[in-house]
Every structure is written in C-alpha cells, then in structure tokens.
C-alpha cells in the first residue's frame, strides 16, 4: 500500500491523475472503518488532510463556498446561522470525535444513501465542485451527483473540491429517525428548505432509496399551495391537511427497502410524519 500526502490542491489532483484507483482519505471516518474491517485494501491511499485549499469556507457573491475538508464541527460552530439545515444534520453525525474529523466532502465521496449531509444539501439546491488535473473544475448539481448506492458522479481522476450553496433564505430543518437518541445511523432522514426569495420549497430524503432523493412533487405541491393562498405574504401556516399531504408526497418519493435498520413501510411512514413536522417548523422558523 502506498500513502500519498499532497500539501496543495494541484499536487492532490496530480496524484489522483497518476493513481486513479487511489482512495482519498480526509477525516478517515469512513475509509478507516473499511480498512479496519478488512473490507478494503487500496493500493494507494491519498491523504487530503494537508491540502490547505480544502480546509476553509468563504462567502463569494451571495453564495457560500465550503471546502470539502471543512469538518462537521466547524459547520456547526461557524456556519450554523447561514446553513441551519446542514448544521442540524451535522449535529446528528456520530459523536464529537467523529464531527471533529469527518467532513462534508467525505460524506459526498462515500455517497452512502444514509449520509447525513445529503438531504440538507439536496434541499438547499447545493452545487458540488469537482476537479481533475486534466480537465480542471466542473460543477455538478447535488441532485445529479448521486448515481447509486455508494456511487457518485466523480470520474476516476477527479476529487471533490467544494460545495456551493446560498445562505438560507427561509426556514431549514432536518430530522432523522434511528433507534438510538444519539450516535445513530439514519434509518431514514428528511430535510426541508424554505426559500422565501425564490418562493420554493426544497427537499432531501436520506436512507430511503438507493441514493439520497428529492421529493419534487411534494416541493411543487407545497410551494403551489403557499403561493395560491398568499401565504408567502401573510406568513400564515398552510392548513394541517396540506402539511399532511406534503408528508405523504415525500413518502411517495422514497424508494425504501427492508434492512437491518428499519422496514420499508416504517420508513415511508416516518417520512410522512417527518415531512409534515419539519415543513411546519421550517415555515414557522422563517416567518
């Protein structure tokens, strides 16, 4: 096994170009588990922990650029006000020890349908920047990034550089269901983002399909009712039945299976409830 440790982004991309099978490692919270459990024996490990360019976030023309190496702990501490949905999700990731090491970029790289970052990023309409030495940077909208269980849209020579998304323009919420009240992998999860300037609703579903999913019908339905009934202006909450219907449409968008963490039918049921509740909170938050 080889261990490569670039200190600049350029070196990192060159290394990935030279060793397309190299496994990138940042906080190690996914990769090391696979190594420790003898599930993975890459020929080359590519440590991105020293690449300065990945470790920071910045505000750029009304959009935030969050480096792929920013830890969950920093998302909570530094970005909570601007990205409340992502921060809520970050707070549920593992333990303090994990949040000190794990990164949003790592979550994207692993592309597990249970990853906690994906639903709030989908809901907020995030765009991911990836790059290669040969072709430079390109941007992939979150909803085009997830191709299958633990498969994403990265080419073999590419690395994840950053996440772009706008600061919240309305309430954002995240909820996840598991059988433990801390340190639990999602049986299923849901994020909602209300955008009062664009007058849209965004959604993200975790752990209830082969990839993280959105619920476009639910988004259009709720935004439509709010618009039709003049609720953007009045700030009133939609009727209970509307929120219930939103939850049901969220559940309809899921493609869950039975597995060790929950049954498919429970996942649908939980999404209905979480959809209704989180939408209520998010609409109330941003009034």
Rule CB under 8 A: which residues touch other proteins? Answer: 1-3, 5, 25, 27-29, 31-33, 35-38, 41, 45, 47, 49, 73, 88, 91-92, 94-98, 100-101, 173-185, 187, 251, 260-263, 265-266, 268-270, 272-274, 277, 281
Closest approach, Cβ 134 to other proteins, in A, equals 26
158, 131 Cβ separation under 8 angstroms: yes
- Whole-angstrom CA distances from 142 to 32, 170, 176, 253 are 25, 19, 20, 17
**Angle value at C-alpha 119, between 258 and 129, nearest 5 degrees:** 125
Quote the least distance from Cβ 72 to other proteins, whole Å: 12
Which secondary-structure segment (H or E) carries 25?
strand 23-25
Asked if 6 and 51 count as a contact pair (C-beta separation under 8 A), the reply is: yes
Nearest approach in angstroms of CB 189 to other proteins is: 8
Tokens representing 131? Answer: 């790059």
Distance of closest approach, residue 137 Cβ to other proteins, in angstroms: 26
Min dist. Cβ of residue 237 to other proteins (A): 14
Residue 26 or 200 with smaller CB distance to other proteins? 26
Q: Which is nearer to other proteins, 112 or 132 (CB)?
A: 112
* Alpha-carbon distances of 13 from 17, 28, 234, 246, rounded to whole Å: 6, 19, 50, 43
The residue (of 45 and 215) whose beta carbon lies closer to other proteins is 45
Choice between 169 and 273, CB closer to other proteins: 273
**Among the listed residues 148, 168, 159, the one whose alpha carbon sits nearest the alpha carbon of residue 212:** 148
**Residue 61 or 182 with smaller CB distance to other proteins:** 182
Which tokens sit at 68? 């792929």
Q: How far is the CB of 228 from other proteins (least distance, A)?
A: 26
- Quote the strand ranges of 55-199, DSSP E: 57-60, 63-67, 127-132, 136-141, 146-148, 151-152, 159-165, 172-177, 188-195
Q: In angstroms, rounded to a whole number, what is the distance separating the alpha carbons of residues 48 and 73?
A: 18
Q: Which is nearer to other proteins, 155 or 258 (CB)?
A: 258
Cα four-point dihedral sign 52, 58, 63, 69: positive
Report the residue number, 143 or 176, with the smaller CB distance to other proteins: 176
Nearest CB to other proteins, comparing residues 14 and 32:
32
Q: At closest approach, how far in Å is the CB of 47 from other proteins? A: 6
- Ranges of H-type helices in 111-263: 118-123, 142-145, 216-228, 231-234, 240-253
Q: How far is the CB of 6 from other proteins (least distance, A)?
A: 12
């Amino acid at each position: 096994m080889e261990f490569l440790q670039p200190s600049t982004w350029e070196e990192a991309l060159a290394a990935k170009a030279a060793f397309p099978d190299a496994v990138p490692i940042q906080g190690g919270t996914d990769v090391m588990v696979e190594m420790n459990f003898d599930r993975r024996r890459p020929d080359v490990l590519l440590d991105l922990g020293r690449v300065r360019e990945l470790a920071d976030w910045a505000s750029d023309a009304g959009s935030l650029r969050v480096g792929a190496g920013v830890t969950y702990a920093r998302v909570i501490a530094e970005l909570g006000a601007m990205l409340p949905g992502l921060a809520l999700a970050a707070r549920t990731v593992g333990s303090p020890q994990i949040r000190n090491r794990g990164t949003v970029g790592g979550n994207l790289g692993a592309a597990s349908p249970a990853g906690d970052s994906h639903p709030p990023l989908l809901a907020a309409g995030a765009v991911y920047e990836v790059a290669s030495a040969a072709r430079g940077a390109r941007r992939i909208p979150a909803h085009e990034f997830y191709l299958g269980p633990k498969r994403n849209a990265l080419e073999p020579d590419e690395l994840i550089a950053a996440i772009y998304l706008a600061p919240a323009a309305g309430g954002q919420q995240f909820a996840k269901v598991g059988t433990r009240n801390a340190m639990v992998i999602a049986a299923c999860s849901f994020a909602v983002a209300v955008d009062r300037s664009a007058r849209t609703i965004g959604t993200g579903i975790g752990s209830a399909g082969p990839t993280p999913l959105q619920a476009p019908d639910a988004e259009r339905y709720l935004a439509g009712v709010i618009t039709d009934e003049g609720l953007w202006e009045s700030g009133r909450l939609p009727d209970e039945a509307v929120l219930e219907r939103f939850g049901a449409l969220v559940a309809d968008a899921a493609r869950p299976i039975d597995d060790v963490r929950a049954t498919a039918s429970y996942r649908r049921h939980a999404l209905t409830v979480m959809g209704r509740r989180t939408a209520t909170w998010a609409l109330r938050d941003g009034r």
